[in-house]
Amino acid sequence: MRIVFVGAGELTAYTANLLIKRGHEVIIIEAQKSKIEELSETLDCSFLHGDGSRPHILEEADPKHCDILFCLTDNDQNNIIAGLVGRSLGFKRVVINIHDHDFESICLELGLEDTIIPSRTIGRFLADMASGVDPLELSTVIEGEARLYAVSIDEDYAGKALDELELPKKTRAIFYYRDDKFHLTDKDSKLEQGDKLVFICHMESLKALKKKFNQVANDEKSPEA
């Protein structure tokens, strides 16, 4: 794969190093020349000096022949702009990093569905670890275009059967938690307010699923993969 990073911070350096060792081609775009000089001593990849949110800089990476654009600067707004520009230039997949949860709904409205919020991701990992759950188990089976998403059932959906939900295409409810107890879904399952309902869906259906349940800023128990 050919992978482009905007921003040459610690996360970029670590991820790029792993990808290079796995045989992938990596390009890093960075505005500070000193960072490029520092990383070029340890990373065997290509570098572009410039503002990664500018179209003419991203075009130098040859977007149509790249697989993923990671926008990982320290500035949320810059990441969002770089993601939008990258998508318009033809990058196959755009992943952005944001720290402010308030931007999550904006990203969804803009169609930037691959959004990472580090505090949430790490928080889930630590909570699972403390509970004796292996967070890596799930990542080994949820691959490619599959995604998991959980919603809290409110009064609008309480009392409805699963077949009444009119779910987006390529989406299926697979289990739910009620009073902290696990239940598999079946055709007779009726929802109650407060249930945590978990779906598996194709990534192209995730935006519609979030919009349907109006849970763009879902709670930290939502297991997206």
Domain end (from 82, 116, 150): 116
State the maximum Cα–Cα separation within the chain, in Å, rounded to a whole number.
Answer: 62
- Would residue 219 count as lying in a domain? no
Is the pTM of the predicted complex or chain greater than 0.95? no
- Would residue 37 count as lying in a domain? yes
Q: Under a CB-based contact definition with an 8 Å cutoff, are residues 2 and 25 in contact?
A: yes
How high is the pLDDT of residue 111? 82
Question: 50 or 156: whose pLDDT is higher?
Answer: 50
Question: 139 or 51: whose pLDDT is higher?
Answer: 51
Based on the domain organization, do 9 and 110 belong to the same domain?
yes
Based on the domain organization, do 111 and 41 belong to the same domain?
yes
- Would residue 14 count as lying in a domain? yes
- Would residue 59 count as lying in a domain? yes
Q: Is the pLDDT of residue 136 over 70?
A: no
Q: What is the domain extent for residue 55?
A: 2-116
Q: Under a CB-based contact definition with an 8 Å cutoff, are residues 109 and 84 in contact?
A: no
Q: Under a CB-based contact definition with an 8 Å cutoff, are residues 27 and 4 in contact?
A: yes
Average confidence score pLDDT of the chain: 86
The pair phi, psi for residue 190, each rounded to 5°, is -115, 135
User: Residue 27 sits in a domain of what CATH number?
Assistant: 3.40.50.720
Based on the domain organization, do 7 and 90 belong to the same domain?
yes
- Would residue 123 count as lying in a domain? no
Domain end (from 83, 116, 149): 116
Based on the domain organization, do 11 and 102 belong to the same domain?
yes
- Would residue 121 count as lying in a domain? no
Average pLDDT over residues 71-86: 94
Of 92, 106, 41, which is closest to residue 63 (Cα–Cα)? 92
Based on the domain organization, do 14 and 108 belong to the same domain?
yes
Domains contained in the chain, number: 2
Based on the domain organization, do 107 and 166 belong to the same domain?
no
Helix (H, G, I), strand (E, B) or coil at 151: strand
Average pLDDT over residues 47-54: 95
Q: Is the pLDDT of residue 66 over 80?
A: yes
User: Residue 181 sits in a domain of what CATH number?
Assistant: 3.30.70.1450
Q: Is the pLDDT of residue 19 over 80?
A: yes
What tokens appear for 143 in the block? 């691959």
- Would residue 124 count as lying in a domain? no
Based on the domain organization, do 104 and 146 belong to the same domain?
no
- Would residue 101 count as lying in a domain? yes
Based on the domain organization, do 65 and 98 belong to the same domain?
yes
Based on the domain organization, do 108 and 152 belong to the same domain?
no
